[in-house]
Chains A and B, each alone.
Chain A
């Protein structure tokens, strides 16, 4: 199944399903909780038309301060209301000193951070009564690292029991920015724990720096990495993220088609009897 992020810019077209027709949609609970009026109506129409996955923004699993219990209650209630089974978030932090920054900051790759995050993931999973699927985020500088990124990720998965959201574009971006081999990185991940894939475009802003903008089309090397990756995975939902510079919708549908064609090529053969995750 190949889905797309549900965005207000093309919400009505998604509901109409003529110019673009994904297999499922994904949205951030934070953008839709406690909303009424026009957007609530559209949200209901979208949920009636498509299966939905949720991808959170404000959990801030890597924050030093305690988890926001009120926030968790609201998210759980929202997920229950819309019967959403897959809830994913980011291995990062977006809040510190009780100040939200609304962006994903990199957590130091350190063992104490592993223990801190793993413990919090378990708390959230227990409270939500759902597995958490945690995304490997793009980052532009390491922060006082004491271990490798891949060891950091693997240890969090091992200690917390969470699933992984493998954002293939993020791995490509990180590999470029930090000069490592993307395939080698992916090979070292616990690929049996991957429950969800994200794909997106990015922007090269300096000769040695790519920013993960979600504002461009996916480039061929990222498609290639995606194709290489999915041959090593069981079938999972794949999401196209497009947040900025929204193109004509047939262009987005073209990207969905290309992703689906790659999935069908590899997953329909080797996993004919394996059902999807939604």
Chain B
């Protein structure tokens, strides 16, 4: 490296000020002009976070949100060279620092996870679609699902509620499957019962529905006369909504 230690230190102090807003005195810099850099860097980061987490930004108390973004910008070194991926680091930082407890927002991790999954799915690289035929035997053929998906488990129904009171009232086991529509690229999500979430997970693993049904009693699922037909009805519906592609040829 050709940089002198002094130049290195000056650059370091400049960038640290931009991220933290602290220690504004830097050799050979106009302090009043320096603050513009702080504002620009901070705005880029916070605007990207607001765009990535619009529900969180709109519904969390402003002072808590501001504290979180300030904390993140000041103490986290963003690793992604792509700005759109930076919000994943924010979500990870929130989990690692137990912000759900610190800020008394028990549903925070679920909400950030949900919003990040939607953004990630929308932008992520295309995955190859397996060859499939549209018709087959729902019980015994391998059912192929849209490969661009995220199956998430939540304690709070962040996919349908935004107010704190309603979220806290409905603590439980919630499952949401998000997927990207191949033609439009739009992201859709479907709320699943625990059973259907299990079915989806197993179908993605290549297990046939008949084999999955056999396993149901071990999950304490009550195997009613209509469990198989209800599941197939659901899968048929999902085929019309492009989550189910079809059957392995």
Contacts and interface: CB of A to CB of B under 8 A. Distances in A.
A235 interface: no
B102 to A, nearest CB: 22
Interface of B: 1-4, 6-8, 10-12, 14-16, 18-19, 26-30, 33-34, 36-37, 40-41, 44-45, 48, 76-84, 86, 121-127, 148, 180, 184-186
A110 B7 contact: yes
Contacts of B10: 108, 143-144
Nearest to A142: B28
Contacts, number: 149
Counting chain A CB atoms within 10 Å of each CB, which of B7, B10, B30 scores highest?
A: B7
Chain A, interface size category, equals: 35 or more
Interface stretch (A47-55, A99-107, A225-233): A99-107
Contact of B15 (A97, A141, A177, A211): A97
Given A64-B8, A103-B37, A144-B28, A37 B83 contact: no
A64 B15 CA distance: 11
Given A36-B148, A102-B83, A102-B86, 15 more contacts: A35-B124, A38-B185, A64-B3, A98-B77, A99-B15, A99-B79, A100-B80, A110-B4, A112-B3, A116-B1, A140-B33, A141-B29, A141-B34, A143-B10, A177-B33
A105 B81 contact: no
Contacts of A68: 81
A68 B148 CA distance: 29
A155 interface: no
B83 to A, nearest CB: 5
Given A68-B81, A105-B14, A115 B86 contact: no
A64 B1 contact: yes
Contacts of A99: 15, 19, 76-79
Interface in A122-181: 140-145, 177
A104 to B, nearest CB: 9
A37 B122 contact: yes
B44 to A, nearest CB: 5
A216 interface: no
A190 B34 CA distance: 30
6 contacts: A37-B185, A96-B15, A100-B78, A113-B3, A143-B10, A144-B26
A116 B2 contact: yes
Contacts of B186: 38
Contact of A107 (B11, B81, B83): B11
B178 to A, nearest CB: 13
Nearest to B82: A30
Contact of B184 (A38, A63, A112, A119): A38
Contacts of A93: 11, 15
Interface in A6-60: 30-31, 33-41, 58
A140 B36 contact: yes
A63 B86 CA distance: 19
Contacts of A113: 2-3, 7
B121 to A, nearest CB: 8
A64 B8 CA distance: 6
Contacts of B124: 34-37
Contacts of A110: 4, 7
Contact of B12 (A39, A96, A177): A96
B2 A115 contact: yes
Contacts of B30: 140-142
Nearest to A116: B2
Contacts of B81: 30, 58, 68, 71, 95, 100
